[in-house]
């Protein structure tokens, strides 16, 4: 494809802007942004106990594509699911971005930033079970090397020939925003042309049981037809999910020069922490409010520019935090809010990046996605929760928020590239 001619002024402006040129994802909804959007339109997936282990807790299980056929590699197909999810998401994101990579086409100018909440939890659990049941000699070397947090990132690097910097961030439910922030920092370096922002997590019996033991759920989630309903009075806590999401980010001048489609602009991103109390978030929303203000400042945007919010809230406590923050930032009149976790579950570290991808797709469709299973509004709720897809012809900027345990926050603003 022929490169368009750019004036010096245009080139300088685009050099400072970050374009989203590819998105790939796999989760309880299937594969790809169209599958995710359609699942939300249809009211969400059916929550049921994970088929891979014994549990009475509902979940939103995902299934990795056949990597033997997709990537023509048997090694990747034997990797833990978290790595398989990561590889599939990266493949589809690169495909959409039109970037050809592989072991024979390695690239030193492409970086990878990987975020996760629990890492290879199933592999770690297997190691501890072997240690406790049979001693150190029973630990399998293959499982040990797959239990480190950087395993999915390293496998992606090897599979796709990514030879630029690799950064791994265990940032919990706010991993998506932290990955985007680090990608923004890397793209300020002249020798980094593109960054793959990747988040992945997998369901694990030990971690899901642990969440119940620390009372992350506010009620007994044993009814497989119920579960997390953010901003709904029936919200008893998260239905745990899994999967991966990858975004290809590159400087807009390079994306324009190679003629690829720009899906949206990452206009601003910020992260923060409220330093409130262990295992608790400040209920007045001060941490999230600060992150949103910093994000808007980074984007050189005002609150009035934001046309919609993709919510990062999961628990009842999160709802209190997010509503307080939004009412503060938007002077009592927040834009419409959509919360999708009641339809697809909470994909742990991948959840915030999935929200970011939905922000991009909302701009492309000029439509705010629906909030599945929202039927009984939380008492005292003053936000405009989008319950059915809402077409907004002038939708030019979407804010994605994230709220992590222990007061960790993130905010990312996506804009239509004009």
Q: How does pLDDT run across 51-91, given as a tens digit for each residue?
A: 988 887 788 999 989 999 999 888 888 888 999 999 999 99
**C-alpha separations of 272 from 99, 106, 230, 287, 403 in Å:** 33, 35, 22, 6, 10
> Do 274 and 209 have their domain in common?
no
pLDDT for position 314: 87
Question: Does residue 1 belong to any structural domain of this protein?
Answer: no
Give the pLDDT score at 106: 64
pLDDT band per the 50, 70, 90 thresholds, residue 6: very low
Average pLDDT score over the chain: 87
Same domain, 135 and 18: yes
Question: Per the structure, how many domains does the chain have?
Answer: 2
> What is the predicted pLDDT for the residue at 12?
57
Q: Above pLDDT 90, what percent of the chain?
A: 62
Is residue 2, in this structure, part of any structural domain at all? no
One domain for residues 140 and 100 = yes
Answer whether 238's CB lies under 8 Å from 339's CB: no
Q: Tens of pLDDT along 184-223?
A: 999 999 999 999 999 999 998 877 777 665 555 544 444 4
Question: Is residue 21, in this structure, part of any structural domain at all?
Answer: yes
| CA–CA gap between residue 330 and residue 348 (Å, rounded) | 28
- Per-residue pLDDT of 264-282, as tens digits, reads 999 999 999 999 988 788 9
Least confident of 116-125, 222-231, 357-366: 222-231
- Tell me: do 252 and 276 sit in the same domain: no
Q: What is the pLDDT of residue 238?
A: 77
Reference 340, options 238, 413, 197, 202; nearest CA is: 238
In the numeric block, which tokens belong to residue 390? Answer: 């809402």
Q: Report the CATH number at residue 397.
A: 3.40.47.10
Q: 262 lies in a domain?
A: no
Question: How is residue 235 written in tokens?
Answer: 């919200």
pLDDT greater than 60 at residue 129: yes
Check residue 147 and give its pLDDT.
74
Domain termination residue (choose one: 231, 257, 283): 257
Q: Please give the pLDDT value at position 7.
A: 43
Contact of 208 with 216, CB cutoff 8 Å: no
Distance of CA 335 to the CA centre of its chain: 21
The boundaries of the domain holding residue 182 are 8-257
The verdict on 78 and 96 lying in the same domain is yes
Alpha-carbon distance values, 367 to 21, 73, 375, 386 (Å): 19, 38, 21, 11
**78 and 209 fall within a common domain:** yes
Q: Which residues of 253-283 are buried (b: 16+ CB within 10 A; e: fewer)?
A: bbbbebebebbbbbbbbbbbbbebeeeebbe
Last residue of a domain, one of 257, 276, 302: 257
Q: How far is CA 332 from the centre of its chain?
A: 28
pTM, entire model: 0.91
Answer yes or no: do 155 and 220 share one domain: yes
**Per the domain annotation, does 244 fall within a domain?**
yes
Task: Looking at the structure, tell me whether residues 238 and 359 fall in a common domain.
Answer: no
* Res. 224: pLDDT tops 70: no
402 pLDDT band, cuts 50/70/90, is very high
Q: What is the pLDDT of residues 83-110, one digit of tens each?
A: 999 999 999 999 999 998 776 666 889 9
Same domain for 247 and 274? no
Token pair belonging to 7 = 């004036």
Maximum average pLDDT range among 14-18, 154-158, 170-174, 210-214: 154-158
**131 found inside a domain:** yes
In a domain, 3, yes or no: no
In-domain check, residue 350: yes
Same domain, 225 and 346: no
Section 246-250 average pLDDT: 98
Highest mean pLDDT among 35-39, 44-48, 209-213 belongs to 35-39
Last residue of a domain, one of 225, 257, 289: 257
274 and 250 in a single domain? The answer is: no
pLDDT at 41 over 50: yes
Q: Is 183 found in the same domain as 137?
A: yes
């Amino acid at each position: 494809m022929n490169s368009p001619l750019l004036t010096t002024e245009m080139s300088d402006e685009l050099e400072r802007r970050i374009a989203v040129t590819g998105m790939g994802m796999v989760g309880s909804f299937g594969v790809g942004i169209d599958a995710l959007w359609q699942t939300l339109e249809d009211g969400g997936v059916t929550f049921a106990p994970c088929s891979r282990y014994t549990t009475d807790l509902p979940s939103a299980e995902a299934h990795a594509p056949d990597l033997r056929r997709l990537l023509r590699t048997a090694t990747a197909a034997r990797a833990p699911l978290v790595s398989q999810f990561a590889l599939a998401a990266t493949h589809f994101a690169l495909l959409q971005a039109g970037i050809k990579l592989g072991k024979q086409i390695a690239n030193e100018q492409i970086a990878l930033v990987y975020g996760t909440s629990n890492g290879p939890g199933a592999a770690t659990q297997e190691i501890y079970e072997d240690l406790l049941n049979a001693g150190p000699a029973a630990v399998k070397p293959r499982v040990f090397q797959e239990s480190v947090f950087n395993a999915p990132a390293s496998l992606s690097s090897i599979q796709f020939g990514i030879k630029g910097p690799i950064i791994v961030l265990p940032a919990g439910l706010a991993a998506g925003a932290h990955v985007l922030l680090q990608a923004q920092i890397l793209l300020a370096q002249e020798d980094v042309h593109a960054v793959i922002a990747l988040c992945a997590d997998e369901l694990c019996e030990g971690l899901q049981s642990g969440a119940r033991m620390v009372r992350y759920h506010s009620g007994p989630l044993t009814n497989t037809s119920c579960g997390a309903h953010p901003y709904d009075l029936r919200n008893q806590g998260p239905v745990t999910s899994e999967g991966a999401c990858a975004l290809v980010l590159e400087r807009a001048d390079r994306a324009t020069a190679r003629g690829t489609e720009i899906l949206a602009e990452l206009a601003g991103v910020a992260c923060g922490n409220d330093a409130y109390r262990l295992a608790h978030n400040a209920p007045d929303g001060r941490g999230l409010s600060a992150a949103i203000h910093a994000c808007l400042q980074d984007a050189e945007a005002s609150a009035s520019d934001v046309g919609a919010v993709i919510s990062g809230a999961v628990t009842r406590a999160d709802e209190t935090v997010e509503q307080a923050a939004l009412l503060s930032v938007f002077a009592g009149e927040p834009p419409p809010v959509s919360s999708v976790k009641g339809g697809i579950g909470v994909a742990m570290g991948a959840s915030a990046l999935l929200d970011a991808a939905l922000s991009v797709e909302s701009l492309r469709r000029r439509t705010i996605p629906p909030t599945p299973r929202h039927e009984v509004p939380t008492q005292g709720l003053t936000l405009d929760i989008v319950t059915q897809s809402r077409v907004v012809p002038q939708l030019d900027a979407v804010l994605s928020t994230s709220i992590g345990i222990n007061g960790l926050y993130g905010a990312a603003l996506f804009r239509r590239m004009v």
